[in-house]
Structure 1
Amino acid sequence: MMGKRRGNGIAQWPAMERPRERLLQEGATALSDAQLLAILLRVGRQDASAVQVAMDLLRQLRGLHGLAHCGLDELCAIPGVGSAKAAQIKAAIELGRRVLAAPLSTGTRIRSSTDLFKHYHPHLRDLRHEIFKVILLDAKNTVIREETVSEGSLTLSIVHPREVFTLAVRESAASVIFLHNHPSGDPSPSPEDHQLTARLVAAGEVLGIRVLDHLVVGDGRYVSFADQGWLKEGGGIA
């Protein structure tokens, strides 16, 4: 906890206690969540420094996870955070997501469901809607490309085998992996998830394209159809 200082402005603090100066001298890892957030805020409000506003923000939103989930209106409602600062915070969070969840590079070899979870979790965990992806692989289980098939509520009508396998045939994929998120945070597959997977596996068998796995991603955990033994023989990641 920071001691009481005369005045509210960060400019009055000793140089090495100011967030920006500390980052330049010691690196970003030396700063607390509130100090990093204060650099984005730049200035506080009349009765509080940027760090104090950042601490208020994290307390009211229950940490960084709450910050990532909140809407712009929620941010703007916090004293000292207007629309411009809220936009800066949201932009920084989205950049972080994109760095961690950049598209899988062509030629990347997929070795396990854990590989996929580590790659996609940072982006999918905070989405408020469902997104369904297909990853196309060659005969050596290396990535050809990935594609978002649908966004919104996942239903049998939205994700149609025709759309998925037209893409796979066009790219000459030997196998595919499906992946979608549960905004609730619970990755337990629903009956609809099981039905959809069965339809996709059956369509793949007709075309000679193996379904290696279907991952359902939640908050900090996931369920793999292949790991659970729910796919027919021949599925799974080698």
Structure 2
Amino acid sequence: MQEKLSSFSIKHWSDDDRPREKLVQKGQASLSDAELIAILIGSGNKTDSAVELSKKILASVNNNLTELGKLSIAQLMQFKGIGEAKAVSIAAALEIGRRRRGEVGGKITKINGSKDVFELLHPILGELPHEEFWIIYLNNSNKVVHATQQSKGGITGTLVDVRLVLKRALELGAVSLVLAHNHPSGTLRPSTADKQITAKLKTASQALDIQVLDHVIITEKGYFSFADENML
């Protein structure tokens, strides 16, 4: 039995079927998603090689890496041959990829419109399973002074502390703000609570000569802009 199990370990495959060697010889771009995941898990199960098992895992999410990144450790462990260590390796690798996209978005230093807000924050917010509310603080040239998470878990007037938002704006010398939050459900329609907190922050900011330029709702596949829709 042990001999049968070990035959599905990558080190026992023929040279043409070994993704680690393929990566070294031809570069990581030459590997399929399944081959990359196979390197992470190292071995398959009694009936599937690591690549075959990886293909099954990918098939369960329609070969969508974004959806794969949303699977919990427990969900990954439902696949025969995936224990906690392998599940953690997959989750960690996908999280690194998500953070790398965030670094790319972080190169945006000036907000010229809603698209810039989306490109800046989508790598951070687009795939989250929960809601987060962010504030982007801008100077008089619309350059990003600071961007920070204001609240996590929902959007209501009690979770977004207007006083803290404006206190931080004064500390940073910001002259305008952009509000942003995500909708994990994928809907791009602003809720009543979204409209209320936008109005509340806009009114409070005006008293300090600070302008709210936009409120952008971000989903995995798109965004909604209050400014673009003339709702500010």
CA shift in 2, pair 1:217/1:49, >3 Å: same
Paired residues of 2:8 and 2:43 also in contact (CA < 8 A): no
2:42 corresponds to: 42
1:3 corresponds to: none
Q: Which amino acid aligns with 1:91?
A: A
Paired residues of 2:10 and 2:42 also in contact (CA < 8 A): no
Paired residues of 2:37 and 2:54 also in contact (CA < 8 A): yes
Paired residues of 2:9 and 2:42 also in contact (CA < 8 A): no
1:68 corresponds to: 69
Paired residues of 1:133 and 1:147 also in contact (CA < 8 A): yes
Q: State the distance in 2 between where 1:215 and 1:201 align.
A: 14
Q: State the distance in 2 between where 1:9 and 1:133 align.
A: 45
2:228 corresponds to: 227
2:128 corresponds to: 127
Task: Deviation per CA, 1:160-195: give whole Å up to 9, x if none.
Answer: 211211111111101111110001012221111111
Counting only pairs closer than 5 Å after superposition, residues 139-150 of structure 1 correspond to structure 2 as 139-150=140-151
1:134 aligned counterpart, secondary structure:
strand
Shift of 1:140: 0.6
**Which segment is superposed worse, 177-186 or 116-125?**
116-125
Paired residues of 2:217 and 2:225 also in contact (CA < 8 A): yes
Shift of 1:119: 2.7
**Which segment is superposed worse, 191-200 or 52-61?**
52-61
Shift of 1:134: 0.5
Number of residue equivalences: 224
Q: State the distance in 1 between where 2:106 and 2:179 align.
A: 14
Q: State the distance in 2 between where 1:186 and 1:18 align.
A: 43
Matched, 1:104 2:106: yes
Shift of 1:44: 1.4
2:147 aligned counterpart, secondary structure:
strand
Between the aligned residues of both structures, percent identity stands at 39
Shift of 1:12: 4.4
TM-score, normalised relative to structure 1: 0.88
Paired residues of 2:130 and 2:153 also in contact (CA < 8 A): yes
Shift of 1:205: 0.6
* Structure 1 unaligned spans of 5+: 1-6, 232-238
2:218 corresponds to: 217
Shift of 1:118: 2.0
Q: State the distance in 2 between where 1:211 and 1:16 align.
A: 58
Shift of 1:47: 2.1
Q: State the distance in 2 between where 1:160 and 1:10 align.
A: 53
Could you list the structure 1 runs, at least 4 aligned residues long, displaced by more than 3 angstroms after superposition: 7-14, 102-105
* Structure 2 unaligned spans of 5+: 1-6
Q: State the distance in 2 between where 1:120 and 1:35 align.
A: 30
